[in-house]
Structure 1
Amino acid sequence: MSIIGLQMRMRQLGEIRIGHTVDTGRTSAKTGKAILRPEKLQQFRLTAASRATLEPIAALYGGTVQPWTPPNGGPQEWEVYTDTDRIPVIIPPRNAVTQYFELYRGSRCERRCDGQIEQKSDKPCMCDPENRACQITTRLNVMLRDVPGLGVWLLTTHGYYAAVELPMVADFLAQTSGYVDAWLTMELKRVTRADGKVAEFMVPKIDVAVSPAQLLAGEGAISTKAIEADRARAVATGEKPAIESPTSSDFPAMIARAESRAEIKVLWERAKAAGVPSAPVEQAARERSQELVKPHLMAAMSAKTLEELSVALTAARAAGFAENLEDGSDVSGAFTGRRTFLSAPSTPVSSEPMQPARPPVTASPQELWQQIVPAWPGDRTSDCEKAFTGRYGVPPHQATALDLAEFLDAIRSGEYSAPAVDEVPLPPAPAHDEPPF
């Protein structure tokens, strides 16, 4: 390998994993050690030698950084089990994927073969093609787009589908001649074996947010021309090439592809740090945030029990919403209002004949609200507003006179009571500064 090639290879910051080992409860008679078995995960797990390397990942994608000792008895490292199966990454333009047939004895690699030549001995492949002793090994190198640090993260997989699909995708992305903005995801595969049993396993995938034509036109690459110029400078000076920060026009497009409010917030903070004009970025952040919050609003208003409401709130908070139920946002109002509605004692079914239909409502919405506020059993008008929003799906100032009149009747009939609301709090969340979206 040339000196230039050595200069252009980025260091490995850590590893991305889609499984872990668990104790089987049995002990090896030969070694006296616990027998472990591999187990698949539904979300990504990342490991690194430095705790500081993983802390920004835990802040972005959830989880807690904790000590980890590799099963082979290597030096202690650190790990974090994230809450996501989708991570924004950057695909390097070269050496993103490598593949070999490999044979290990413990932690030592004895063979590494490309199917024709065994690399360690420089001899022809030693395996029977129909019954290989070596295991296919695919390695993917990516950069974590929003995580500090200039280097790559390695994902190693021994699966057939990853071996077939990942190289083709990486080869295509390499045709863009730039660092490609993409997503690393996990997909559950089910295969029926010859004995009729169904096997399940997770397959890593690479997704991009643009079409193949756009990729080949350079639209998926991040500042391609600047990277090429920086690469030439790095070769001349002996320094490592650096990736240019996104431009002002990049941030709204990146925010439009965000998958959570936490991701939107990271992009918003990056734009602020880069001195990007705030108006277009904040507009894009508000619009994308509104799109992402809709299913959580619907989940809050459609919850039939307090247990369902708590599950919906946990999902909303995982997406970055309703973290502070006193922030006055629509989603927080929907959760607290629905809690008030579900906490109210149910009205027993009466055996008396049905009352005649309500007479037409003649009072205006403003007049009805002036009657509702003093009739509300609690001390805070904000609780009354949240209860109304949770019941009807709209705030009082957008409601019809008929809904307001019905709500007033419900209060007067005893459906709502302040003590019942206080006895069933929703799970608390730590307070923090909120961005303007």
Structure 2
Amino acid sequence: MGSRIMTMKRQAAELGRIRTGYSRPNPKPNGRPIPVKSKTFILTSHSREYIAAAADLYGGPVEQWTPQGQPVAQWRVITEATELRAILPAGDPLDQANEKWTAGGCERRCDGVTEKLSGRPCICLAQYGDDWHERKPEEVCRPTSRVGVFLPDLPDLGVWRLETKSYYAADALAGGLDTVLQATGGRGLLPVRMWIEQRKAVRGGKTKQFQVIVVVPSLPKLRHALSGPISTAAALDPASLDRPAIEAAPVERPDYLAEARGCRTADDVIGVWHKAREAGHGSDELLADLKTIAEDISKGIDPQTGEVGDQDDDELGPDDEGVYDVEVLGEGDGPVGEEPPAAPARSSWPTAAQPGSGARR
């Protein structure tokens, strides 16, 4: 069995990024690119295959794109999707820090209390006080939030990194994910819905407009979100949580006419009618058919063949010489000449519309 470096981070491959904004060229000479807030999600990747698959799924044109300050071109699609269905991996998927980047790389990375690269107390707080985040981006760190999610309908196994550098969005995203993680405690996968929401806040008498990414569990009912970790199959198909584990097979309607044709007496046929009526299958049409079968049986007609008498009893017919192989009864030996029993009274038949019969038309 192999071994691992215990201090090494174990994370899925990053297939691409999920963004909520882009920049357009500045018409002024040497002007900085102008940031644009997008109302739909933007997906970027080094792989054209992934972006083409995303364009097929979410709409939007595939285009080549070079991130600001980077020499390597990537691929991008500004989708038509205002909402994404994703799956959160196990553990805490959120990584947040106050970061300041320059052309030389990350200059500061701070948790709000300690700047990690230098070990000094938060530099932005010391210089500008509690409202440091309202300073110009080039002067202070920017609250940076990163979340890795699976997009199950796109190719390959890996995460798509969602990133935002908004102070207000960082707070909303952390709160939303903490609520989501209450469902699983970070154990197991969890399907989520993400969408871009426009908000505003009043600070210092000024109204600030910003957008946040809302993340909520994507489950059929609230109770599913509060019942703990779910299976991988349920994460891929949340609707399965609301389906019975084993669906009952459909119950076939009995063939009452076939059962009645196998009866020996009219009373037995009446019993078939009672059975059908109690099962909710009673109807005027079935009642009429069963009455016809009962009358045939009373007349000695076989309801299966339509012939009179028991035609299969060969011993009742004469042999080749015309002799009947039966015992002939004489006077006083049996019920010779006695009338056959009467057919059952028709009053024993309930009607399909009889009150309280339970019949359904």
TM-score (norm 2): 0.56
**% identity of equivalent residues:** 31
Match of 1:208 among 209, 213, 217: 217
Contact 2:198–2:211 (8 Å) recurs in 1: yes
C-alpha separation between the residues in 2 aligned to 1:5 and 1:172? 29
Task: Decide whether aligned partners of structure 1 residues 25 and 255 sit closer, same or farther in structure 2, where only a CA change above 3 A counts.
Answer: farther
Determine which structure has more spread, i.e. the larger CA radius of gyration: 2
Question: Which residue of 1 is the match for residue 77 of structure 2?
Answer: 80
C-alpha separation between the residues in 1 aligned to 2:9 and 2:57? 30
Question: Which residue of 2 is the match for residue 354 of structure 1?
Answer: none
TM-score (norm 1): 0.47
Could you say what the CA RMSD is over the residues aligned between the two structures, in angstroms?
3.0
Contact 2:176–2:214 (8 Å) recurs in 1: no
Structure with the higher fraction of residues in helix conformation: 1
Contact 2:180–2:217 (8 Å) recurs in 1: no
AA matched with 1:130: D
CA apart distance, 1:55: 1.3
Say if 2:154 is the partner of 1:157.
Answer: no
Task: Decide whether aligned partners of structure 1 residues 223 and 3 sit closer, same or farther in structure 2, where only a CA change above 3 A counts.
Answer: farther
Task: Decide whether aligned partners of structure 1 residues 163 and 111 sit closer, same or farther in structure 2, where only a CA change above 3 A counts.
Answer: same
Deviation readout 1:299-318 (Å, 9 max, x if unpaired): xxxxxxxxxxxxxxxxxxxx
C-alpha separation between the residues in 2 aligned to 1:135 and 1:148? 32
CA apart distance, 1:251: 7.3
CA apart distance, 1:35: 2.3
Match of 1:139 among 134, 146, 156: 146
Say if 2:12 is the partner of 1:10.
Answer: yes
CA apart distance, 1:165: 2.5
Deviation readout 1:224-263 (Å, 9 max, x if unpaired): 8xxxxxxxxxxxxxxxxxxxx95xxx4754999xxxxxxx
Contact 1:215–1:221 (8 Å) recurs in 2: no
**Structure 2 counterparts to residues 78-117 of structure 1, below 5 A:** 78-106=75-103, 108-117=105-114
C-alpha separation between the residues in 1 aligned to 2:39 and 2:142? 23
Contact 2:169–2:211 (8 Å) recurs in 1: no
Deviation readout 1:3-50 (Å, 9 max, x if unpaired): 35647311111111101111231123xxxxx42121101101111011
Task: Decide whether aligned partners of structure 1 residues 40 and 221 sit closer, same or farther in structure 2, where only a CA change above 3 A counts.
Answer: farther
Provide the secondary structure at the position in 1 that maps to 2:71: coil
CA apart distance, 1:74: 2.9
Question: How many residue pairs end up in the alignment?
Answer: 228
Question: Which residue of 1 is the match for residue 26 of structure 2?
Answer: 24
**Structure 2 counterparts to residues 59-78 of structure 1, below 5 A:** 59-78=56-75
Say if 2:180 is the partner of 1:173.
Answer: yes
Structure 2 residue ranges without an equivalent (≥5): 133-139, 244-361
Deviation readout 1:93-136 (Å, 9 max, x if unpaired): 22311111111223621000112222222333223242532221
Question: Which residue of 1 is the match for residue 339 of structure 2?
Answer: none
Answer 1 or 2: higher relative contact order, Cα 8 Å, separation at least 6: 2
Deviation readout 1:315-371 (Å, 9 max, x if unpaired): xxxxxxxxxxxxxxxxxxxxxxxxxxxxxxxxxxxxxxxxxxxxxxxxxxxxxxxxx
CA apart distance, 1:193: 5.2
CA apart distance, 1:66: 0.9
Structure 1 residue ranges without an equivalent (≥5): 29-33, 225-244, 257-437
CA apart distance, 1:215: 2.2
Deviation readout 1:58-113 (Å, 9 max, x if unpaired): 11100121100111133100100111110110011223111111112236210001
Question: Which residue of 1 is the match for residue 287 of structure 2?
Answer: none
C-alpha separation between the residues in 1 aligned to 2:57 and 2:94? 26
